[in-house]
Amino acid sequence: MKFERADSVDFVLQALAADGADVSPLAGGTDVMVQMQRNELMPQRLVHIEPLRDLAEIRSENGHHEIGALVTHDRLVQACADSLPALSAAAATVGGWQTQAVGTIGGNVVNASPAADLPPVLLAYNARVELTSSQGTREIDLDEFLVGRRETLRRPDELLTSIRVDANADGVGDAYVKIGRRTAMEVAIVGVGARLRVDDGVLRDVRLAVAACGPRAFRARGVEEELEGLALTAGAVPPDALAAACARVFDEASLIDDVRASANYRRAVLPRAAAAAISQSIGRAVGSSATGKGAGR
């Protein structure tokens, strides 16, 4: 194995074009190094991309945010605290300080662990991923990009370079709810990302996505369908309606017993986690309409 320092994005793209699956880009390494130690990943060329600061920018314009693949979790926590609170909250739970200091959004997405923290929030944001190769770039929906457990549509010659999400407009609220055995350093037993808009007391553009309940993070379209267009009562979804809507989360869930929890435990907590994410999102949405986005911050 060779360790190589990328001095430009072009260098990485040439390496990927030449040697494809034998090349492993290395950023923070919090996933790649573990995989190598377990012999799950055995690249010929380990290409260190951390120095490519062009890939670590966050650009906000025209109603969306473009987040470079090398933006670290600790930077997301700070930079997105007001603009994308659920993403900030999710990034704050990826391991501890040591993990967040070097782990990146690109790594979290491209390694596609079923329990990864950022994908459910990004799916709720209708995120699109930009993939770059020596042939050019393409952008596809994250929902399409994620295929299965640690499986994505990234071609061997492609580098994930950025992720684009819509900004949270006025009246929009989001949330990330994570179930684990303890508060810190947990891999999610259940992870739920949500985003919705409250328009004159009616729920619109409801998005709910779930992690750790199937081979990949998925949109809970049944839940979204039930809630779309629902009128709030006293600023909330009536409990029966919320429970009924969240029961639809099992349409797409594929629950198994694993090292972290039993399928029965997930079956019990998943709809409640979904309900919590919806309620928190509504709370934020109503709060943001009242005060206006960015007021006083």
Partner 1 sequence: MIDVRIEINGAPTDLTVGAAATLLDVLRDDCNLTGAKEGCVEGECGACTVLIDGSPVDSCLYAAAACDGRSVTTIEGLSTGPLSALQEAMVNAGGVQCGFCTPGVIVVLTALLERHPNPTPEQIRVALAGNICRCTGYAQIVESVVELTTGARA
* Contact residues for partner 1, defined by CB under 8 A: 1-3, 5, 26, 29-30, 33-34, 36-37, 46, 48, 50, 95-99, 101-102, 183-185
Query: Rounded to an integer, what distance in angstroms lies between the CA atom of residue 183 and that of residue 178?
Result: 9
Burial class (CB in 10 A: 0-12, 13-18, 19+), 95: middle
Q: What is the closest distance, in whole angstroms, from the C-beta atom of residue 215 to partner 1 in the complex?
A: 22
Residue number, 98 or 264, with CB nearest to partner 1: 98
Q: What is the closest distance, in whole angstroms, from the C-beta atom of residue 25 to partner 1 in the complex?
A: 12
Residue number, 14 or 99, with CB nearest to partner 1: 99
Q: What is the closest distance, in whole angstroms, from the C-beta atom of residue 35 to partner 1 in the complex?
A: 11
Listed residue (186, 22, 49) closest to 113, CA to CA:
186
Residue number, 62 or 183, with CB nearest to partner 1: 183
Contact 163, 130 (CB under 8 A): yes
The set of residues, in sequence order, having a beta carbon less than 8 Å from that of 105 and lying 6+ positions away, is: 67, 69, 71, 72, 73, 76, 91, 118, 163
Residue number, 99 or 279, with CB nearest to partner 1: 99
Q: What is the closest distance, in whole angstroms, from the C-beta atom of residue 97 to partner 1 in the complex?
A: 5
